[in-house]
Amino acid sequence: MYMKSYYILSILFLLFHNMVGQVRFIVRNPVFMQRQELVEIDAQSVYMQLGIHYGQPFVVSQVVAKNEDGSEKLREVDFQVTHDQKILIDASVQPNRENEYVIMRGVPRKMQRYNTLTQRTTAGGWGG
């Protein structure tokens, strides 16, 4: 029996303010296949916990490794803030695993854009 995706990819949001200017959350995948889903977070609570005003920049990163000295290796991920004050993050989680994410103050890197179409160069065909 197929269950809806919000049951398959259980998202555990641990929104806590453990360090100045950071919000952390965990995305868990309890099933035996990899899942890639959009994760939705309330932007107002993130702005409040970061101590910044709505519209000020922040960075979303995935924790990819934790070092013995307590430091972390982070990989910045793309996100979008919607008109209804939600933060959307594309989360990919391996089977029976979890990913930890960190949201912190800062200016995010510029998103990479991919062009899928080329300009039309001839009458009736697409050129390259």
pLDDT above 70: percentage of residues in the chain: 71
- What's the pTM value of the predicted model, to 2 decimals? 0.71
pLDDT, one tens digit per residue, over 70-125 is: 889 999 999 999 999 999 998 989 999 999 999 999 998 887 776 666 555 555 55
CB–CB of 99/41 below 8 Å?
no
| Distance between CA atoms of residues 63 and 87, nearest Å | 18
Q: What is the CATH number of domain 5-126?
A: 2.60.40.1180
